[in-house]
Structure 1
Amino acid sequence: MRARVVAAALVAVMVPSTPATAGAGPPEARPSESRPQESRPPESRPYIYLEGPPGTVLEDTLSLTNPGTRPLTLRLRATAPWVTFAANPVTVPPRTRADVPFSVTVPADAPPGDHAGALLAGDDTTVPVRLRVGGPRLAALTVEDVRITDGTIRYALVNRGNTVLSPRLAVRAEGLFGEVLRRAERPLRLEVRPGRRVELTEPWPGRDRPALDRVTVRLDATAGDGARAGAEATRTFGTGWAGIPGLAVVVAGTAAWVRRRGRGARGAEA
């Protein structure tokens, strides 16, 4: 069964003519005069996107361009799941484009959600592949292992669902005397694939931290499709009341006044 390709893509992979620079960059990264106009594919995209239900075969084409003057033989590999190339290795004649069909056979028991990988030509050239398997979608995210160290808040985001997440994060810290830190929700500019754990940090320089306080830091993360998660950690800053001299004087004076008041009360009772 041939499934519909949602975003059919003829992807251009630039293959230089010398072995020393093989796999260096896409066509856009090379001067236009280094390849004839007719060698350029009719359509070029930064990645291949395929979508279909379990038990289907998805098909697309990878285009390899050789702007050099000698034939070039390339071995194709895939880190994306379930990929088969129509030909491998592939010899691309000089100043020619070779179109290599490939298929993605989605197993009948494949879990629904997003799967990521890449097609590789030669040693370095990579074309990302994004595969979405049909079925129930679950967006689930957890915030774990929140730790407060000197100048840094450390934490981990874990994708517990089956869709790729682009998380956003808000940070808040409360001390004994009120709020000491608030950062509005913002995008983290990263993608977390299903099942992946990402270790991250938030800077918290000393000028923004209290000298003496017991502080609870809370991290709240959100992502598409309603995924929400939060976690917190607590740390005490300072080594004792001596960390704030003025406060130490007030406490000492109060204690002395209480002792004098206590002696006076006992003398009155006598």
Structure 2
Amino acid sequence: MPFRTRAVVTGAALATAAVLLSPAEAYATRMDGERWTAAPAPAPDGGARPSAQDRPYFYLEGAPGTVLNDRLALTNPTGSAVTFRVGGTPDGAGRWIVTASKEVRVPPRTRADVPFTVTVPGDAAPGDHSSALVAEGDGRKAAVPVHLRVTGPALAALSVEDVAVERRGSAAVIRYVLVNRGNTALAPRLAVHADGLFGPALRRAARALPVTLPPGRRMPLTEPWPDPPALDSVDVRLTVTAAGGARGTAGASYTAVPWEAAALPPAGLLAGAAVWRVRRRRRTGDSPPEADARGAGVGAGADA
């Protein structure tokens, strides 16, 4: 089905785009008074100036091997023509995007709708794939997100890696990495447990993390621990879950030593050595040297 435009679209080339921005970021770079805008094109009977309220991003869904179609609307409300370059970086699902034109000249107070296709490879993994369409013109750049879902069996899987606890003054921070090993985007939930020699040191029930983890993505994160124990040996364990049965767990050991004790190691070593010697003698039945000497003296006197 042919697409109608309100301007002459010149040139013909292939371009791919793979820039992932949130809708808020994409529109924040474009909406500035009477400057040009880029957005998903509305229906044929829609308004002359699409906005984030119409469609904040492209959403396309199809099976492997299908070809999907949509249109990018470039609106020029100014009094002079603007020449746009439409394309992006060839990365990820952006390599599946082909625009009808690489260069588009939009006259004053005119909107041009640029058709593009997304060809889903026959061996594409089912799940969520993200990319973007990028438009550059008049010294500015805008990226409109393209969210693509390839239909098929969904697999939700994740892992927790590289857990470590770092001391920061009287507080601590837990570092870890989440890895999405499935083919669907995940909204993870985190639970934290820590047990020391003196009992439980930390209990945090599962809560939603303010992140979305795309398929195949590694994401370093941190968890604050404002009141860790001052003196203890603690085992910290993180458990992360997500919809679809995804679950990952990992842990790390953490030894807390008071700064006062760390500043005086000789005194601590001497005290520890003394306690160790006393316990060893009690365990083996050895007598103190003074007692041995007294016993030897008594025996000698009897023999004499």
TM-score, length-scaled by structure 1: 0.76
Query: 1:181-226 deviations in whole A, cap 9, x for unaligned?
Result: 1122122111111111011111123xx1112111000101011211
Separation in 2 of the partners of 1:162 and 1:145? Answer: 22
Q: State the 4+ residue runs in structure 1 displaced beyond 3 angstroms.
A: 239-243, 252-264
2:29 to 2, 25, 28: 25
Deviations 1:3-62 (A, max 9, x none): xxxxxxxxxxxxxxxxxxxx96344xx44x779x96323872221110000111000111
The 5 A counterparts of 1:142-161 are 142-150=159-167, 151-161=172-182
User: Match of 1:152, as an amino acid?
Assistant: V
- How far apart, in 2, do the equivalents of 1:49 and 1:258 lie? 73
Find the aligned partners of 1:260 and 1:147 in 2 and give their Cα distance: 40
DSSP 3-state at the match of 1:62: strand
The 8 Å contact of residues 154 and 200 in structure 1, kept in 2 or not, is answered as: yes
Q: Distance in 1 between matches of 2:279 and 2:248?
A: 49
Matched, 1:177 2:198: yes
Could you state the TM-score of these two structures normalised by the residue count of structure 2? 0.68
2:114 to 71, 91, 100: 100
How do 1:236-255 residues align onto structure 2 when only pairs under 5 Å count? 236-238=255-257
Query: Are residue 40 (structure 1) and residue 49 (structure 2) matched?
Result: yes
Report if aligned partners of 1:65, 1:96 keep a CA contact under 8 Å in 2: yes
| Cα distance change, pair 102–256 in 1 and its aligned pair in 2 (3 A) | same
C-alpha distance in 2 between matches for 1:38 and 1:131: 25
Q: Which residue number in structure 1 is paired with residue 238 of structure 2?
A: 219
* Separation of aligned partners in 2, 1:95 and 1:240: 68
Alpha-carbon displacement from aligned partner over 1:216-251 (angstroms, at most 9, x marks no partner): 0010101121111110111221279967x9xx99xx
For residue 71 of structure 2, what is the aligned residue in structure 1?
A: 61
Aligned partner of 1:200 among 218, 221, 227: 221
1:77 is aligned, of 72, 87, 111, to 87
Instruction: Report deviation, 1:66.
Output: 0.7
**Correspondence for 2:209:** 188
Distance 1:41 1:140 in 2: 38
- 5+ residue gaps, structure 1, are 1-22
Distance 1:254 1:110, change over 3 A: closer
1:112-127 superposed matches below 5 A: 112-122=126-136, 123-127=140-144
Q: Distance in 2 between matches of 1:185 and 1:25?
A: 36
Once residues 260 and 218 of structure 1 are traced to their aligned partners in structure 2, the CA distance between those partners, rounded to angstroms, is 38
SS of equivalent to 2:244: helix
Pairwise CA distance, 1:256 = 6.7
Give the equivalent residue in structure 1 for 2:9.
none
- Measure, in 2, the Cα distance between the counterparts of 1:192 and 1:201: 15
SS of corresponding position for 2:118:
strand
Contact 1:171 1:182 (C-alpha < 8 Å) held by counterparts: yes
CA radius of gyration, larger in? 2
CA contact (8 A) 1:24 1:124 kept: no
Which letter maps to 1:107? Answer: P
2:125 counterpart (98, 111, 121): 111
Query: Retained in 1: the 8 A contact 2:35–2:76?
Result: no
Change in Cα spacing, 1:258 to 1:106, as seen in structure 2 (3 Å) is closer
Q: How far apart, CA to CA, are the structure 2 residues paired with 1:24 and 1:92?
A: 21
Tell me: CA distance 1:109–1:257, structure 2 relative to 1, closer, same or farther (3 Å).
Answer: closer
SS class of match (1:164): coil
Cα shift readout 1:67-122 (whole Å, capped 9, x = no counterpart): 11101010111452311112221111111111111110111111211111111000
Quote the sequence identity (%). 55
Measure the CA separation in 2 of the matches of 1:186 and 1:177: 26
